[in-house]
A and B are shown apart, each in its own frame.
Chain A
Amino acid sequence: MSEADVAFLQRLAPPTPSSYHRLNPFTKALAAVAESIAAFVIGGYVGPLAIFGLAVLPAAAMAGVLRRLVRVSVVLTLPIAISVVLISVFTRAGSTVLFTVGPFDATVEGVDFAGQVLVRLITLSTAIGLFGLTTEPRAFVFDLERRGLSPQLAFAATATLEAIPAMLERAKVIQAAQRARGLDTEGRIADRLRGVLPLVGPVVLSSLTEVEERTLALEVRAFGRRGRRHLLWTMPEATWEAPLRWVLLAVLVVIVAARLTGAWPAIP
């Protein structure tokens, strides 16, 4: 192959507009996982907030996705956050009652617990959200395949991840068609809910038949054949990334071990 051929193939790889995007997908994935686990294991406020403020936020700023990251994580965590806060504030036993709503007492302990869960949730959702916003699924999956993941598994993973936007798009098309026939999917919340329900069946069913036709079409393309594939492009990986990943992993193991054995005391 000529140099021009190699350059052409490499151009098919997902774009990497910032130096954070340019990190290898595996490195970014490990960072997200390590940050999330560390935030949970360390607990309290200082630990998770330090990870959030000193690692996740600067990385997001470097990648230029800060605003999108905030939006995405708020949307993703809001339902969980609200239920966690309500449940822990009002059901947690404690001695100092802050205020009372009906039969429920909100205690200082409950509020404190809710706060701790919340900061962990923020760190977790932004760490994983940052990975999602800076790494295309196919980049991650192909990289894993290059590292030895079976092509079948790689395909199943990409197909699932890529199917989500396709499903949303189909929902839009069906929604438009239903609206054309007089079903309302906009307006007041109650009306909207009533309008969205008829969408569920068609979207799920059409996805299912599509899965069947897709399976046929894929089998036709020799998918399911065993053996390694030669991938067309690779994601960049700097020489220092593998050592960095080992360091990350080692730090994580130390933190987990120290917390579990009690060698590292709880910090606020």
Chain B
Amino acid sequence: MLELHRVSYRYAGYATAVLHDIELTIADGEIVGLVGPNEAGKSTLCLVASGLAPASIGGALSGSLSIDGELMAGRPPHELAERVAIGFQNPDTQLSGVTATVFEEVALGPMNLGLPVAETLARTREALATLGIEDIAERSPNRLSGGQGQLVALASLLAMHPRHVVLDEPTAQLDPEGTRLVGEALRALAATGTALLVTEHKTDLLDGLCQRIIVIDGGRIVLDGPAGDVLADERLPGWGVEPPSRIRLARAMAGRGLDLDLIAGTLR
């Protein structure tokens, strides 16, 4: 369980806070979606939820982050890393730069955890298979497309079997097939009891994946509720979030006097 209690955060060297009074709890096995306009503070919230802000990048945090009931303030970054995995927007900078193959890149985390070779091997294979990238296992991590890089970065996190995961736009560079695989991987991860926070512009991915969705704007949570309700909320476009195609279709048809439920019923 990951909890943020009354959290406000200000980047180092800046006078004003970019997150205000954030109250957020993610239960084990729960997937929470995070949406909002550009500059809303989504990436910042990801950094705060993973503890890297302020542990690694500094800045001033008020309020508290606790994981499984323990306060995380003052813990060193590597200890936080064993509890919360975070995936960033840009895959390039998530590669370690010290490995020669994708396989070793994905194996780096488990290896750093001190796991025996057989366990590292098994986890790495599993993570590669889950994201459908076994075929590039022996390629150089420095010669990947943006989408492949994103999948490798995600596989590297999955291989660590994290109990809490924070992802900042994990599918920004992925094609529909890659996006689908990521969705499945995240669902499978949640099924093992992992708590997930996923920032995503693609509401179609969040629809059906998340139990709950949070909207933030100007660094504040403006809406927090069951995924279905939030995605159907009329104010969503006002916050720069496009509703999923399912809902847009229903609205378009209703606008022309067609009732989707009625049609579905007739077809049945």
User: CB distance A232 to B78 under 8 Å?
Assistant: no
Beta-carbon contacts under 8 Å, A1-56 to B: 1, 5, 9, 11-12, 14
Beta-carbon nearest neighbor of A169 in chain B? B142
Known: A219-B81, A221-B81, A224-B78. A230 touches B97 (CB 8 A): no
Q: Are the CB atoms of B120 and A228 closer together than 8 Å?
A: no
Of B78, B98, B100, B113, which one neighbours A159 at CB under 8 angstroms? B98
A163 x B97 contact (CB < 8 A): yes
CA A213 to CA B120, docked complex, whole Å: 25
User: In the assembled complex, which residues on chain B have CB atoms less than 8 Å from the CB atom of A159?
Assistant: 96-98
Of B98, B99, B103, B114, which is within 8 A of A225 by CB?
Answer: B114
Q: Is B263 an interface residue (CB 8 A)?
A: no
Chain A interface, >50% SS class: helix
* A138 and B100 within 8 A (CB): yes
Which of chain B's residues 78-106 have a Cβ closer than 8 Å to chain A?
A: 78, 80-82, 85-86, 88, 90, 93-101, 103-104
Q: In the bound complex, do residue B98 and residue A158 qualify as a contact, i.e. CB atoms below 8 Å apart?
A: yes
Q: How far is the CA of A128 from the CA of B226 in the complex (A)?
A: 64
* A232 and B52 contact, CB distance less than 8 A: no
Contact A213 B138 (CB under 8 A): no
Which single residue of chain A is at the shortest CB-CB distance from B76?
Answer: A224
Task: Pick from B85, B97, B99, B104: contact of A220, CB below 8 A.
Answer: B85
CB-CB < 8 A to B85: which residues of A? Answer: 220
Q: Is the CB–CB distance between A222 and B93 below 8 Å?
A: no
Partner of A230, one of B77, B86, B116: B116
Contact A217 B96 (CB under 8 A): yes
In the complex, the chain A residue whose C-beta lies closest to that of B166 is: A220
Q: Is B266 an interface residue (CB 8 A)?
A: no
Q: Which residue of B lies closest to A154 (CB)?
A: B98
- Asked if A228 contacts B96 (CB within 8 A), the reply is no
The answer to whether A225 touches B82, judged by C-beta atoms less than 8 angstroms apart, is yes
Decide if B222 is an interface residue (CB 8 Å cutoff): no
18 interchain pairs, CB-CB under 8 A: A11-B138, A155-B98, A163-B97, A212-B57, A216-B56, A217-B88, A219-B52, A219-B56, A219-B77, A221-B81, A221-B112, A223-B108, A224-B77, A225-B113, A230-B111, A230-B115, A230-B120, A232-B121
Q: Besides A216-B88, A217-B94, A224-B78, 6 other CB < 8 A contacts?
A: A159-B96, A216-B57, A221-B160, A222-B109, A223-B78, A229-B114
